């Protein structure tokens, strides 16, 4: 490969997938950003996959930007930590400037929140502890990230958290001069900028703590502390406006956790939590007080608690629903194929049942023991939730309201789980009753879930007109729906209602909503941990 033939000519350069740059075989493009494109690549000499970030031509042609890119990438490469995406190599090949870094499959926190909604206490503390550990490492090396936000916090299916994209990072001890620092003044994301970053003042690691505080607030409350129609409107609030108390939005959370988040959001860096190491100590105390020692053992993991993957029951339901659609669409051959489909369904159910026995690690007599006695009570609602998550039975979820009826947030979310469980088991009557209850909630994400579930059950019962009417009420708050599994069911419900009724009110609005709901998942089945 010559030095000139592959030299970038513009930001609109063709996809480089399938080509080889030195030791890297580019497999496919993972994403595109304003500054770079990211490819999944095979590092041939080491036979490992990496995320290869290739600088766009316009930036590569700017000597000042290129100098900063190289200096700061090298600084980030010195940060070796389990919770930081590792940079392997920085260089130039065939005219392309690149960073080769660790490739990790997972969702960024923004995507995770869109799929699951606000995390429960143990998950939130786990995320916060791991990010704080990464910031502590960076702070001890004098490196400021400058763009901490949900998009740059990755979560794997096992709950491992990594901070990505130190592309804006810089040494606080750097003597690079005005021409380099000026480039970075406007970099970052307005929703998460610290007051000193907004004002263009010198930054130290406490700026990252502020941005992380904004991220934590959004993660726990479901909304950022400050929003506005323009970047300037948001920036002014970061400098002048105090955030709404987190306790007003999440009364179920320990007050000490809410206070800790607000300590990160102090306008004056001198009043802020002094360091990520101090933040870690505070988080460790909260963890020891509220989280059982064995929280991440057994089946209590991120997929189970966080709903990022359907249960075996859900897989059965989805498969049988597909078979039902086949029967409904293909009427002429229905009778001839019924026996084959029924046999396939039976084999599938048997396979899932055997897989379930393999995956769920608990004593075979445990269900019988629980059925023969009342479900055990834990010392607080957080532990009760974790125990209910581990068992996943109707009695387990009912125990939340039985033992902690005043913990409204957890009671409502337990009813969500119970309604989905009844739905998966085909008990439409009980599911419908719970969905109708949830549809009366004042908390809009719960109410949206209830209305969507109510309409979906009516659809499954063949009451498509009634289903459509309920979903028109849901439309008034459709943007509040957070539960990933309900979003999937809602998509099927809309399609089925349209098939039966011919058309729906606000049909174009529904189409646009469904496209936006699943656009990212359909276009990017896999994402690099450093998506641009």
List the one residue out of 153, 147, 159, 123 whose CA is nearest residue 72.
147
Q: How far apart are CA 504 and CA 54, in angstroms?
A: 46
**Among all chains, which residue has been given the structure tokens 């129609």?**
229
Q: How far apart are CA 211 and CA 264, in angstroms?
A: 8
Q: Alpha carbon of 505 to those of 362, 474, 494, 500, 514: distances in Å?
A: 48, 12, 11, 14, 15
Catalytic residue among 94, 147, 204, 509: 147
Q: How far apart are CA 445 and CA 117, in angstroms?
A: 9
In total, the chain counts a number of residues equal to 532
Q: Are 283 and 128 in contact (CB under 8 A)?
A: yes
Q: Would you state the structure tokens that stand for residue 91, as one six-digit string?
A: 């260089």
Q: How far apart are CA 334 and CA 346, in angstroms?
A: 17
| 147 noted as active-site residue | yes
Q: Are 226 and 234 in contact (CB under 8 A)?
A: yes
- CA 320 from chain centre, in angstroms, equals 28
List the one residue out of 400, 389, 415 whose CA is nearest residue 311.
389
Q: How far apart are CA 494 and CA 395, in angstroms?
A: 32
Q: Which residues are catalytic?
A: 147
């Amino acid at each position: 490969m010559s030095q000139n033939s592959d030299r970038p000519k513009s930001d609109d350069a063709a996809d480089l997938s399938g080509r080889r740059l030195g030791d890297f075989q580019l497999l496919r493009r993972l994403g595109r950003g304003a500054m770079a494109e990211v490819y999944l690549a095979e590092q041939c000499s080491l036979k490992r996959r990496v995320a290869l970030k290739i600088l766009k031509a316009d930036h590569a042609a700017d000597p000042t930007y290129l100098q900063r890119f190289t200096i700061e990438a090298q600084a980030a490469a010195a940060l070796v930590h389990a919770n930081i995406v590792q940079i392997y190599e920085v260089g130039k090949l065939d005219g392309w400037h690149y960073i080769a870094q660790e490739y990790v499959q997972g969702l960024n926190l923004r995507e995770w929140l869109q799929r699951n909604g606000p995390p429960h206490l143990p998950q939130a503390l786990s995320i916060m502890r791991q990010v704080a550990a990464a910031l502590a490492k960076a702070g001890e090396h004098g490196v400021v990230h400058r763009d901490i936000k949900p998009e740059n916090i990755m979560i794997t299916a096992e709950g491992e958290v990594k901070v990505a994209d130190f592309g804006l990072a810089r040494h606080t001890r750097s003597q690079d001069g005005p021409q380099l620092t000026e480039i970075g003044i406007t970099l970052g994301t307005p929703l998460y900028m610290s007051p000193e970053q907004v004002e263009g003042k010198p930054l130290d690691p406490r700026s990252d703590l502020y941005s992380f505080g904004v991220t934590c607030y959004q993660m726990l409350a479901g909304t950022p502390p400050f929003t506005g129609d323009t970047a300037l409107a948001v920036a002014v609030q970061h400098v002048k406006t105090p955030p709404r108390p987190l306790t007003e939005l999440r009364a179920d959370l320990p007050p000490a956790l809410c206070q800790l988040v607000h300590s990160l959001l102090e306008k004056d860096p001198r009043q802020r939590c002094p360091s990520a190491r101090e933040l870690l100590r505070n988080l460790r105390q909260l963890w020891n007080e509220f989280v059982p020692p064995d929280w991440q053992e057994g089946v209590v993991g991120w997929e189970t608690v966080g709903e990022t993957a359907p249960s075996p029951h859900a897989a059965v339901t989805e498969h049988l629903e597909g078979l039902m659609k086949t029967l409904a669409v293909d009427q002429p051959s229905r009778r001839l194929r019924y026996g084959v489909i029924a046999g396939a369904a039976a084999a599938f159910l048997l396979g899932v049942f055997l897989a379930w026995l393999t995956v769920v690690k608990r004593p075979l007599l445990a269900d019988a023991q629980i059925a023969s006695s009342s479900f055990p009570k834990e010392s607080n609602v957080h532990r009760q939730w974790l125990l209910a998550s581990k068992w996943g039975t109707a009695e387990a979820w009912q125990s939340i309201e039985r033992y902690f009826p005043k913990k409204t947030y957890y009671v409502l979310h337990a009813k969500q789980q119970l309604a989905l469980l009844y739905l998966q088991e085909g008990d439409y009557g009980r599911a419908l009753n719970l969905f109708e209850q949830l549809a009366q909630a004042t908390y809009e994400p719960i109410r949206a879930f209830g209305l969507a579930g109510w309409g979906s059950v009516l659809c499954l019962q063949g009451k498509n007109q009634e289903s459509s009417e309920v979903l028109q009420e849901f439309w008034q708050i459709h943007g509040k729906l957070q539960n990933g599994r309900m979003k999937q069911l809602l998509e099927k419900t809309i399609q089925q209602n349209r098939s039966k009724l011919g058309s729906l009110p606000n049909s174009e609005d529904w189409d646009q909503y469904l496209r936006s709901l699943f656009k990212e998942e359909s276009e990017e089945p896999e994402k690099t941990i450093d998506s641009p």
